[in-house]
Structure 1
């Protein structure tokens, strides 16, 4: 597959020579009888630095469809209403894989979230799929979707082209863009952050300077690709928290050329340049931020996407795992592979998840704490691991499935039981 590189540059690409017009975005007669359509994910009058839009030149306009009707699939893909939310620290076993054919859309399960499409916030979902999406597409009109595969690679076909997204990578699909997910392995499982707020962007680097964290050049967006298929396609749309469906008589992936900066993209998390101390103290998780969705409060995110990749630990006279803390941010954590250094020895498994809502104390378990306090502090490589967090400034409300679906671990609090009492002189 071919890609263009750079984070939200203005790209121009065509699958057929001559399909991309020159000089005018919406010419009277586009080449080959194509239709010009603008795809906007920001207000028309947003500042230039914030404005996101792309011009699509397609075989048919997206206006050609019948009425949407309620969709009855994906029964556990739903908003959290807050009635099942507690202050307790929570941890879940991985989602099981179905023995029947379940695609990405029907395999989505909501664990929690906050806000909504009108006020910002996030939705947090896991997926477990055993079949590719065939003859159908999905459009999320409520939020941008950040997809984190944990098991099984995905082929994500969007209106602007195709992306292969394997575990260790992320894929991001803009709000309102149609896409389908095919499996390149027999099964697939992973995590999704549905972002209702400001689109994800790179965090400012501040005193870090010009280099570090995620580099713009390492983000990849697909080149134009289309399919000319005249056959029924189901389009499932998430709108205002509910799912709807309609059928069209052709493939929705018929964009022959496009240019702009409202685009899908992927990123290889192994390219993240981790920053850490070379003297003492454990830096806070902000230094692991890959992408951020800012809020109206400077420095307080609607959502941060944070990773904990392989890295060296070298601080002197320093407790090296994450310290015990209570935080204004709510933290939903997942594990792609390996062990997380603050929860060693089982319990937090790849494909599983945990939630520490704001101001509820958490940190390393008893065993990890004792090991870290007694360790010989020579340079140590944390390797063969990849964990991440979706962090939000608001309480993450949990769903009924998250609390009663049979995957919640009832003994999670026990990992913090048995800390020896400090002995004072």
Structure 2
């Protein structure tokens, strides 16, 4: 299948799967083309300021009010929401996990979510949950939407097709997909099992960060974000819709597909982005700036400059700084950091942090390069060096991240992680 996209972040888009399906000059005419129903999906309060006021108009075969039958509770115990203080035996510390194994048997994306940390409060629309997803079979006649938060997906192994109300997106390792709160979808692994990382954002939607002194260019450029072109399912057969609401899951039966949007326009829609288009900036002489220069997207909070979530990547790049310890330095941070590795090797860790793995460094807990990486970086000649074949990411939040029971009991938990700093011997000798 050939997919088409419209480029640009945060712009007003218009797309139709049938010619003339979009009304001209009016959002909700008395009679829509093709006898469609007009429906608005709002991503913000009606009176939000223009810069953060988001909505899209959908022209669909049946209105969403018909998507709601008699709901029953559905248990998805591994998709944990905040606030969560699940009991487990892990003490306070820095945590790391190796790549978890693929679940046994056939599992859909919806059943394959495994949250590892939670922060904040889903009802207060503050904070996030972070973890992994696994998918070994498609969601056939099964649909889902998340009323609690926006979904950020980062494939790590295998590609995933997201069939949404707005059209179809395919994402593979090295790309991300974002599905706004309330958008219906089904997920299909492409050519084999798929696994990746998942962030559920309870707060304000992700947007591009302010570049400040960097100016108008570099980092993630708006033109490189892609939104799907309209496509619809005109399917009349029994199917199921699952809704996540208030940290719980509810399922009902339908007699038709809810992905029946024939045309749409607006600025509230799913999008994808190729992380290899990120244009990093860095130090050209000595030292290196804070990791905020690697921010791709941010979900702002009510406190200026303190994000609900920052999404950062550490991609291929040149290191050229002189007289400088080049890996990330030792530090303590008010933000808490959930980190994953898509592929390659992370330059601040020699062993133990593998693609598909996770580390968690919570607020005001010290961390930094392990002993082996420190020794190597301190002794190497500082010629220009290119980091190649690597892609790591970090989800930072102002809130503490609490480890879920699933993560605490995961067989790949590395209870000896702190030993990676044990070799940092005393070097002080009293001389300059």
Report the TM-score when normalising by structure 2: 0.96
Rounded to whole Å, the distance in 2 between the matches of 1:86 and 1:251 is: 47
Answer yes or no: is the 8 Å Cα contact 2:100–2:410 preserved in 1: no
Answer yes or no: is the 8 Å Cα contact 1:96–1:128 preserved in 2: no
1:133 aligns with 2:139: yes
Per-residue CA distance 1:368-396 (angstroms, 9 max, x = gap) = 00000001000000010000001000100
How does 1:368-407 map onto structure 2 within 5 Å? 368-407=373-412
Answer yes or no: is the 8 Å Cα contact 1:104–1:133 preserved in 2: yes
Rounded to whole Å, the distance in 2 between the matches of 1:9 and 1:88 is: 43
Match of residue 70 from structure 1: 73
Match of residue 111 from structure 1: 116
Flag structure 2 segments of 5+ consecutive residues without an equivalent.
none
Q: 2:103 aligns with which of 85, 98, 101?
A: 98
Rounded to whole Å, the distance in 1 between the matches of 2:138 and 2:353 is: 28
Q: Secondary structure at the match of 1:270?
A: helix
Answer yes or no: is the 8 Å Cα contact 2:338–2:358 preserved in 1: yes
Q: CA deviation at 1:196?
A: 0.5
1:342 aligns with 2:348: yes
1:409 aligns with 2:376: no
Match of residue 12 from structure 2: 10
Q: CA deviation at 1:398?
A: 1.1
Q: CA deviation at 1:423?
A: 2.8
Per-residue CA distance 1:273-323 (angstroms, 9 max, x = gap) = 000000111221100000000111111110000000000000010000000
Rounded to whole Å, the distance in 1 between the matches of 2:32 and 2:374 is: 65
Rounded to whole Å, the distance in 2 between the matches of 1:79 and 1:209 is: 37
Q: CA deviation at 1:75?
A: 2.3
Q: CA deviation at 1:189?
A: 0.7
Rounded to whole Å, the distance in 2 between the matches of 1:185 and 1:322 is: 37
Per-residue CA distance 1:8-38 (angstroms, 9 max, x = gap) = 2100110001110011101111111100000
Match of residue 369 from structure 2: 364
1:333 aligns with 2:339: yes
1:235 aligns with 2:241: yes
Answer yes or no: is the 8 Å Cα contact 1:75–1:106 preserved in 2: no
Match of residue 249 from structure 1: 255
Match of residue 287 from structure 2: 281
Rounded to whole Å, the distance in 1 between the matches of 2:364 and 2:232 is: 48
Answer yes or no: is the 8 Å Cα contact 2:349–2:369 preserved in 1: yes
Q: 2:156 aligns with which of 150, 154, 166?
A: 150
Answer yes or no: is the 8 Å Cα contact 1:301–1:392 preserved in 2: yes
Rounded to whole Å, the distance in 2 between the matches of 1:129 and 1:365 is: 33
Rounded to whole Å, the distance in 2 between the matches of 1:82 and 1:143 is: 20
Rounded to whole Å, the distance in 1 between the matches of 2:427 and 2:382 is: 22
Q: CA deviation at 1:247?
A: 1.2
The CA RMSD measured in Å over matched residues stands at 1.0
1:88 aligns with 2:90: no
Match of residue 204 from structure 1: 210
Answer yes or no: is the 8 Å Cα contact 1:79–1:399 preserved in 2: no
Answer yes or no: is the 8 Å Cα contact 1:57–1:258 preserved in 2: yes
Q: CA deviation at 1:86?
A: 4.5
Match of residue 176 from structure 2: 170
Flag structure 1 segments of 5+ consecutive residues without an equivalent.
none
Per-residue CA distance 1:184-236 (angstroms, 9 max, x = gap) = 12101101110011100000011001111000000000011001110112111
Report the TM-score when normalising by structure 1: 0.98
Answer yes or no: is the 8 Å Cα contact 1:87–1:360 preserved in 2: no
1:318 aligns with 2:320: no
Q: CA deviation at 1:99?
A: 3.5
Rounded to whole Å, the distance in 2 between the matches of 1:109 and 1:98 is: 10
Per-residue CA distance 1:75-133 (angstroms, 9 max, x = gap) = 21112522447431000121211331101010001101112233211111211221111
The list of structure 1 runs, each at least 4 consecutive aligned residues, that deviate by more than 4 angstroms after superposition, is 83-86
Q: Secondary structure at the match of 1:316?
A: coil
Answer yes or no: is the 8 Å Cα contact 1:95–1:128 preserved in 2: no
